[in-house]
Amino acid sequence: MIKTLAVHIKGFVWDSVLTPVFMVLEVIMETIIPLLMATMIDDGINKGDMNHIVITGLWMLLCALIALFAGAMGAVFGARASAGFAKNLRKAMFENIQTFSFANIDKYSTAGLVTRMTTDVTNIQNSYQMLLRICFRAPVNLVAAMTMAMLINARLASVYLIAVAILALVLTFITIRTYKYFSQVFERYDDLNASVQENVTSIRVVKAFVREGHEVGKFHKAANNLYRLFVKAENLMVATSPVMMLTVYGCIIIISWLGANMIVGGSLTTGELTTMLTYCMQILMSLMMLAFIFVMLTMSLASAKRIAGVLNEKSSLTNPGNPDYEITDGSIDFDNVSFSYSEKSEKPVLNHIDLHIGAGETIGIVGGTGSSKTSLVNLIGRLYDVTDGSVKVGGKDVRSYDLETLRDGVAVADATEEECMEACRLACADEFIQSFPEGYHTKIEQGGANVSGGQKQRLCIARALLKKPKILILDDSTSAVDTATDAKIRRAFAEKIPDTTKLIITQRVTSVVNADRIVVLENGEILAVGNHDELMKTCPAYAETYIEQTVGNGDFDKKGGA
């Protein structure tokens, strides 16, 4: 996990190195100041040597200024390193997610991925900054102060060792107990983000069905679950502060008592006692900073595991060793294909599919909901890999192609305005685009909120046509289009792109009556294949559905009609 994350410090290594360097310099200066103070008291104030007081004071001022400069530079470099580290992590996660197959994406929820790229990365950023600054500063300060205290009076300094041992035990106990709560917190963040995402995305549906109260209740439940986990963790963490304060003040009292006796006995000077008290505060404040770091690292450990999981996730679909970069034609062959979304599935989604489609053919694919129509065509672009058998495009197994070549990209940035207009005319989108005040320069809002369902579908068809594909898959793409427009689109396809293989997935039989062949699917198996006239004679399910749709509202989901 650490190795996975550490790779992404690249570009900010020097910032990461300079931060602890300046932190150590600051600690050295702060350690020297109490020693100078001791000499000022013993050799200056007690002896009335004003010259010594002034010189020592100037040295203390110089040390303080160096410490100030070092602390400021450490903060600057630490902020730059942690922010750069967070930027690299977000970029790496986003780039890796783009390579995921559908099978990989199915492992994560959208809200979970959003939480990882926001809350989890922010936790890592804060922890990394403190790791560079406090995690170097606190131990060095602890060791330096302890060493100097031992040199001054080893017997008195032994009090610190006892305090350190007590605090270490308490902090270890608290850290172990709180980790299990913090590891659950981020799963609750996923639920919270999912609630917000679903509500905002489907706000029109929520308002249409007056479900605001239900959504508010669902959000409150997710927020309360998060609240309870944080309270449980904080109830344990709250013990850190009183234990620290009790230890600090206990050490001060013990050292003052023992130190006073030693001064009376002549084995310790007033300046040395003052220095010991200063080192006492430095030692215990270092422990407090380490305690704070333990809290942050405990929280960030859960975040680090979640981020590393995304970064280590490798696409289940990869290019072969020597991929093919050219698709000769749009022929498609399903050879005894079976497919399951999960290896644990008892029954395959597609079972023993044998289907051979020639280049340029128009194939209708019909069937009820859950008959695996979309699953079938997802195998063509290798969005999933077959479980058994093979899918061939242009006579070659899709697994032998370069993935980018097979899918032919999705961008249309290099298309000219004339090409866009021609594609829109083919998709019957030109007529409504021209009615917009800004025509083809109209901006489409997120989710196509400023166009209707039918207009949205026609724009998607136009975008697909711009790719000039050898295979065009229309997955229920005219369900929101009226029958007359549907007929125009099909006629334009036949006239303008006759060499493109067209697969039309639909439940509306009238959309595929003119197809070269129609495939009827049922429960992941091919029930029948043929043209409209043949199926009307040989496939009762198809014939009855067609008759009901032409006179009523029949579809393949109505048993008895299909």
What is the per-residue pLDDT for 76?
A: 92
* Strand pairing class (501-506; 362-367): parallel
> Would you say residue 463 has pLDDT above 80?
no
In DSSP terms, which residues pair with 473 in a beta bridge?
503
What is the per-residue pLDDT for 556?
A: 58
What is the per-residue pLDDT for 241?
A: 73
Q: Which amino acid is at 396?
A: K
What is the per-residue pLDDT for 411?
A: 32
Q: Which domains does the chain have, with CATH numbers?
A: 2-312 (1.20.1560.10), 324-404+470-562 (3.40.50.300), 409-468 (no CATH)
What is the per-residue pLDDT for 87?
A: 93
CA angle 320–325–328, rounded 5-degree value? 120
**Percent of the chain whose predicted confidence (pLDDT) is above 90:** 9
Cβ atoms of 268 and 261 within 8 Å: the answer is no
What is the per-residue pLDDT for 318?
A: 79
In Å, what is the CA distance from 35 to each residue of 51, 70, 237, 279, 310?
18, 20, 35, 10, 51
In Å, what is the CA distance from 411 to each residue of 105, 408, 417, 494?
21, 9, 15, 24
**Percent of the chain whose predicted confidence (pLDDT) is above 70:** 93
Count of Cβ atoms closer than 10 Å to residue 446 Cβ:
7
> Would you say residue 493 has pLDDT above 90?
no
What is the per-residue pLDDT for 417?
A: 67
**pLDDT tens by residue, 21-57:** 898 888 888 888 877 887 787 777 777 778 888 888 8
What is the per-residue pLDDT for 68?
A: 92
Q: Which residue's entry shows tokens 């040989």?
A: 538
Q: Which of 25-29, 218-222, 298-302, 434-438 has the lowest mean pLDDT?
A: 298-302
> Would you say residue 414 has pLDDT above 50?
no
**pLDDT tens by residue, 65-112:** 998 999 899 889 989 999 999 999 999 999 888 888 777 787 777 777
Token pair of 109, please? 């929820």
Cβ atoms of 339 and 379 within 8 Å: the answer is yes
Cβ atoms of 472 and 501 within 8 Å: the answer is yes
What is the per-residue pLDDT for 186?
A: 66
Nearest to 359 by CA among 498, 550, 253, 217: 498
Count of Cβ atoms closer than 10 Å to residue 86 Cβ:
20
> Would you say residue 561 has pLDDT above 60?
no
| Residue 547, phi then psi, degrees to nearest 5 | -65, -45
Q: Which residue's entry shows tokens 């790496």?
A: 92
Average pLDDT estimate for 547-560:
63
> Would you say residue 341 has pLDDT above 70?
yes
**pLDDT tens by residue, 378-393:** 888 888 888 899 999 8
Q: Which of 67-81, 482-496, 506-520 has the lowest mean pLDDT?
A: 482-496
Query: How far apart are alpha carbons 388 and 59 in whole angstroms?
Result: 80
Query: How far apart are alpha carbons 470 and 491 in whole angstroms?
Result: 18
Contacts of 510 (CB under 8 A, 6+ apart): 483, 486, 546, 549, 550
